[in-house]
Structure 1
Amino acid sequence: MIVSVKKSVPKGEITAPASKSYTHRAVLIASLGKNEVNLSHPLLSADTKSTMEACRLFGANVEEKTDPETGETIIVVKGFDGKPKKPEKTIDVGNSGTTLRLMTALAGVVDGEVVLTGDESIQKRPNTPLLKTLNEMGAEAYSINGNDCAPLVVKGKIKPGSVSIDGGMSSQFISALLLSCPLLEGDSKISIYNDLKSKPYVDITLEVAKKAGVNIEEYFKRELIQEGIEEDYRVSEVHVLIYSIPGNQKYDLGVYNHGNYAIPGDFSSASYLLTAATLIPGAEIMMNGLFPSAQGDSAIVEILEKAGADISWDKEKGIIRVSNKDGRRLKGIVWDAGKTPDLVPTLAVLGAFSDGEMKITNAEHVRFKETDRLKAMTEELTKIGAVIEETADGLIISGEKSKGQMKGAAVHGWDDHRIVMSLFIAGMMIGDMTIDTIESVKISYPTFFEEMKKIGAVFEK
């Protein structure tokens, strides 16, 4: 499908969609327990439904029901008490990388062979560190096509022990192991030598696991590493991130708040509307449901503040107000995206319409998302006249040089929800823009277009 976007001025009040990251983890962690759990305010998107179906295949009872008091849809989970069964068919995760990684590690706890696959995009996303670690832990884990991408086969069972894993590609591998290791019969230790990218997502995993009564200790250790041979060597000190995980633990999210767990609002999805309201002259938005949490993308508030936006956050009420009544242009900043990879497409658009230069660094892992987002944003923003340079690990966008020369064009959404929604903001700024593959928004924000229409966006699908 294609959307044609006109110049628009967003105004009004809107509630942030639920967090995709929290919904994934809450569904799985509730499934790992025994008692019934009600998940309120969940995100019911293509990705989270993939996790729901995968948990059903492992033996959990996962249902969508209507809350009799609020009329809202909730997810009710009755888990398999830490004893996942062998799925009777292949697990198809669709487009969800999170589902694939979480379920691949859980498959290592199952006695028997588990096969996992996904769509065309998933079959291009590598899982090398996770497969390597599962094999080191005693499972037989491999890619059918021999490229470390889905379809994957896992033949358990993994055994407790000490392993190291590369944290530079995706935090999802770490989260997957952290959730499965407490089920093992002995203690485990996971050491991460390279910088752990997207660590806030691991923090979300630990937060929800702790609410389910699971103990995982995180600490840093200094180690001396010798490189080279004979006289030609050097010794360097590194800080190793270590997770210590006791075995034989029981998950029970039912003990938290009498079995009622509310999913927080999603800052990744909120970033598009907040950014649009800071860029577009005359815009004024109030967003509800955005309380402090472990989400790294809550940094969008800090980023917009640094860029000079008129923005305020009432953390107690979970309300963010942002406006551009005086038609101000923001200023470019330097931003390390190591912990906030999902904000990169949004920040690229922010930079294109700001003064000065926006420099996004430490974002090489963004190349391994639904698509290579550094390449995608460079190509599409160039089409509308933005001056943008793709580097090995980031982007440099000159809003100063782009000023006055950007105009609408037909751009490609790369079948990537975050690319589509970011380009939609650009379309609201300059008008006369068409974006294809817009159905991809169902991955994380299925009501995106309905919500945009409510606040005054002008477009046709």
Structure 2
Amino acid sequence: MGNLKIYPQKLQGEVKIPPSKSMAHRAVICAALGDGASRVTNIDYSDDIIATIDAMSSLGAVITKKEEYLEVTGIKSTANKVNDQIKEERTIDCNESGSTLRFLVPIAALFDGVNRFVGRGNLGKRPLDTYYNIFNEQGIKYTHKEGILDLKTEGKLKAGEFRLKGNISSQFITGLLFTLPLLDGDSKIIITTQLESKGYIDLTLSAMKDFGIDVINKDYEEFIIKGNQTYKSRDYRVEGDYSQAAFFLSADALLNNVVVNDLKTDSLQGDKEVMDILERMGVSFKNKNNGLIGEVDNNLKATIIDGSQCPDIIPVISLAAALSEGTTEIINAGRLRIKECDRLAAVTSELNKLGAKIIEKEDGLIIEGVTKLKGDVEVWSHKDHRIAMTLAIASTVCDSPIILKDYECVSKSYPEFWKDFKNVGGSFDEWNMGK
């Protein structure tokens, strides 16, 4: 992995935000489970999306990557019909994508044979007990290894009643929502605790509805799913990604001047919360050149930020909080510890190197605002795309250059980030640590 020397430079210009990774995962899966040929447009081939494309291909979908769109011929699966292309044993490589893993585990249980899930990085540390409990109840065979992802499953999922905790990860609920409509029988998902990340469930239900699947949502406490439904093929455009827009909207909060394009104003994405949080801190958003820009009249103000519904934007919001007046508290953010890295620890370590005053708590952060950040230090992405992009935005308010280690990890979600950063005035050089 390489290193960048990033110079303190204000950003100005326009950025077309890449398509939503969350919606792209869902569109690929719905199309691949469909009954014909679909076309998915405005898709970015990040590492995570490629993982989902390859995973659905391993289950029998025929997916062709074009430069401007994705062609998907669906598996045409139901509980009573197994695609002839499905092998008795298949390997599903999830790379480092938690969404791919947790979405695909129940989907793969639609088919006969053995499924082997493999991956890299911290993926093996992400808990899967929710599925193990279901496997035990339904007699589905499985083996797994501790600390690394090497999970084997054998057996088909059966319709019924599924009781899930809502404070672990909405990805388990999404995985079952994708799968249960295809089973021979009706099912119910009962949420036994308060549901976090409701926005992600909204995205799942929206995508499923677009592809012809009906689910009854009873106030996020129960989901009623009729069996023997069919995903319908269609053309689908993926909307822009608020979790990626958060970096440039936060840059605007730090007195940069970036117009962010291709955001859906009525989006269901939970990470749209970035706008509400920044507005509470003193940012006003305006339309400019058919895009969105944030403006600040006075100093940013501290606030309380609940990370339970929008964990992916917490790293860059922590940066804005570090330069706000007063003390910001981030609460209900414990799940950040089991992302690509321990993001609470990484944010604390790396921003404090730059002069921030952050105290790490078990499930959150206490951030005492400072007036400026320093440079002339080496910081590390922790090989986490969101930490790398946060540090890039931090460089714009440092008083001297910083050295960022392992910058390429942005390919996980935003392969064109450094190109976009440079196009709006970001300045950096490859850096040889031996010099």
TM over 0.5: yes
Q: Give the share of equivalent positions with the same residue, in percent.
A: 35
Q: 1:175 — aligned with what?
A: 174
Instruction: Say if 1:7 and 1:428, in contact at 8 Å, map to a contact too.
Output: yes
Once the two structures are superposed, residues 41-100 of structure 1 have per-residue CA deviations (whole angstroms, 9 ceiling, x without a partner) of 01210100010011111000101124xxxxxx1001000112453475421111111111
Q: 1:158 — aligned with what?
A: 157
2:401 to 429, 432, 436: 432
Q: 1:10 — aligned with what?
A: 11
- The Cα of 1:364 is off from its aligned counterpart by 1.1
Instruction: Say if 2:89 and 2:114, in contact at 8 Å, map to a contact too.
Output: no
Structure-2 change in CA distance of 1:277 and 1:297 (3 Å): same
2:248 to 270, 273, 292: 273
Structure-2 change in CA distance of 1:322 and 1:405 (3 Å): closer
- The Cα of 1:404 is off from its aligned counterpart by 4.5
- The Cα of 1:318 is off from its aligned counterpart by 6.5
- The Cα of 1:380 is off from its aligned counterpart by 1.2
Q: 1:70 — aligned with what?
A: none
- The Cα of 1:8 is off from its aligned counterpart by 1.1
Once the two structures are superposed, residues 194-243 of structure 1 have per-residue CA deviations (whole angstroms, 9 ceiling, x without a partner) of 222222111111100011111111114xxxxxxxxxxxxxxxxxxx7111
Determine if the alignment matches structure 1 residue 350 to structure 2 residue 320.
Answer: yes
Q: 1:69 — aligned with what?
A: none
- The Cα of 1:170 is off from its aligned counterpart by 1.1
Q: 1:91 — aligned with what?
A: 92
- The Cα of 1:310 is off from its aligned counterpart by 3.3
Cα distance between partner residues in 1 of 2:87 and 2:271 = 36
Q: 2:268 — aligned with what?
A: 294
Instruction: Say if 1:108 and 1:134, in contact at 8 Å, map to a contact too.
Output: no
Cα distance between partner residues in 1 of 2:237 and 2:373 = 46
Letter in 1 for 2:201: V
Determine if the alignment matches structure 1 residue 416 to structure 2 residue 375.
Answer: no
Structure-2 change in CA distance of 1:215 and 1:405 (3 Å): closer
Once the two structures are superposed, residues 160-211 of structure 1 have per-residue CA deviations (whole angstroms, 9 ceiling, x without a partner) of 1112112212111110011011111011111111222222111111100011
Letter in 1 for 2:114: E
Cα distance between partner residues in 2 of 1:277 and 1:410 = 24
3-state SS of 2:184 partner: coil
3-state SS of 2:330 partner: strand
Instruction: Say if 1:57 and 1:88, in contact at 8 Å, map to a contact too.
Output: no
Cα distance between partner residues in 1 of 2:285 and 2:138 = 48
Once the two structures are superposed, residues 387-417 of structure 1 have per-residue CA deviations (whole angstroms, 9 ceiling, x without a partner) of 1111121111001xx3356444211111100
Q: Which runs of 5+ in 1 are unaligned?
A: 67-72, 221-239
Letter in 2 for 1:285: V
- The Cα of 1:269 is off from its aligned counterpart by 0.5
Cα distance between partner residues in 1 of 2:228 and 2:311 = 34
After the TM superposition, which residues 186-335 of structure 1 pair with which residues of structure 2 at under 5 Å, given as runs?
186-220=185-219, 241-252=221-232, 254=233, 259-280=234-255, 283-291=256-264, 292-312=266-286, 319-324=291-296, 328-335=298-305
After the TM superposition, which residues 127-166 of structure 1 pair with which residues of structure 2 at under 5 Å, given as runs?
127-143=128-144, 145-146=145-146, 150-166=149-165
Q: 1:394 — aligned with what?
A: 364
2:71 to 70, 76, 96: 76
Instruction: Say if 1:86 and 1:110, in contact at 8 Å, map to a contact too.
Output: no
Once the two structures are superposed, residues 433-461 of structure 1 have per-residue CA deviations (whole angstroms, 9 ceiling, x without a partner) of 11112111001000000000010011113
- The Cα of 1:135 is off from its aligned counterpart by 3.2
Letter in 1 for 2:240: G
- Greater Cα offset, 153-162 or 128-137: 128-137
Structure-2 change in CA distance of 1:265 and 1:437 (3 Å): same
2:344 to 374, 386, 405: 374
Instruction: Say if 1:28 and 1:55, in contact at 8 Å, map to a contact too.
Output: yes
Cα distance between partner residues in 2 of 1:285 and 1:120 = 33
Q: 2:412 — aligned with what?
A: 443
Cα distance between partner residues in 2 of 1:213 and 1:92 = 28
Instruction: Say if 2:323 and 2:372, in contact at 8 Å, map to a contact too.
Output: no
Cα distance between partner residues in 2 of 1:132 and 1:196 = 19
Cα distance between partner residues in 2 of 1:3 and 1:274 = 23
Cα distance between partner residues in 1 of 2:384 and 2:168 = 19
Would you identify which runs of 4 or more consecutive aligned residues in structure 1 move more than 6 Å? none
Cα distance between partner residues in 1 of 2:56 and 2:313 = 29
CA RMSD of aligned residues (A): 1.8
- The Cα of 1:260 is off from its aligned counterpart by 1.5
Q: 2:33 — aligned with what?
A: 32
Instruction: Say if 1:58 and 1:87, in contact at 8 Å, map to a contact too.
Output: no
TM-score between the two structures when normalised by the length of structure 1? 0.88
Cα distance between partner residues in 2 of 1:184 and 1:451 = 44
Q: 2:433 — aligned with what?
A: none
Instruction: Say if 1:168 and 1:365, in contact at 8 Å, map to a contact too.
Output: no
Letter in 2 for 1:295: Q
Once the two structures are superposed, residues 310-333 of structure 1 have per-residue CA deviations (whole angstroms, 9 ceiling, x without a partner) of 32258xx96212245x6x421111
3-state SS of 1:121 partner: helix
Cα distance between partner residues in 2 of 1:341 and 1:286 = 24
Once the two structures are superposed, residues 323-357 of structure 1 have per-residue CA deviations (whole angstroms, 9 ceiling, x without a partner) of 45x6x421111111111000110111111111111
Instruction: Say if 1:215 and 1:245, in contact at 8 Å, map to a contact too.
Output: yes
Cα distance between partner residues in 2 of 1:241 and 1:26 = 25
Once the two structures are superposed, residues 88-123 of structure 1 have per-residue CA deviations (whole angstroms, 9 ceiling, x without a partner) of 542111111111111111121111110001013212
Q: 1:235 — aligned with what?
A: none
Determine if the alignment matches structure 1 residue 65 to structure 2 residue 34.
Answer: no
Structure-2 change in CA distance of 1:105 and 1:150 (3 Å): same
Cα distance between partner residues in 1 of 2:76 and 2:254 = 49
Letter in 2 for 1:337: G
TM-score between the two structures when normalised by the length of structure 2? 0.93
The number of residue pairs the alignment matches comes to 421
Instruction: Say if 1:138 and 1:157, in contact at 8 Å, map to a contact too.
Output: no
